[in-house]
Amino acid sequence: MLNAKTFEDLSSKLNAAISNSPAKDIEKNARALLAQGFAKLDLVTREEFDIQTQVLARAREQLIALEARVAELEAQRSK
């Protein structure tokens, strides 16, 4: 069975091999490509989305209240 020292040595050797290989460059280039692609999209942060969801919910509540008020006023007018 592997002891902790052997596992740590193996892990550090793998990390060193990956950091010195083209895989590190591929990862860096992939991240840059994705970041560039996301920058071109019309995206919003989760925080902005949540805020707009709350604003929409309040607007819907106000619309429902106004519709009820209009219906009430129309009913009074037709009497």
- In this structure, the chain runs to a length of 79
Gap between the Cα atoms of 42 and 58, Å rounded: 25
What is the rounded average pLDDT for all residues in the chain?
85
Structure-block tokens of residue 34: 């994705």
Q: Tens digit of pLDDT for each residue in 34-64?
A: 888 877 888 888 999 999 999 999 999 999 9
Residue 21 has pLDDT above 60, yes or no: yes
Question: Hey, what long-range contacts does 21-26 have (CB within 8 A, 24 or more apart)?
Answer: none
When pLDDT is averaged across residues 59-72 and rounded to a whole number, the result is 97
Query: Could you tell me the residue ranges of all domains in the chain?
Result: 1-42, 44-79
Instruction: Please give the model's pTM, rounded to 2 decimal places.
Output: 0.50
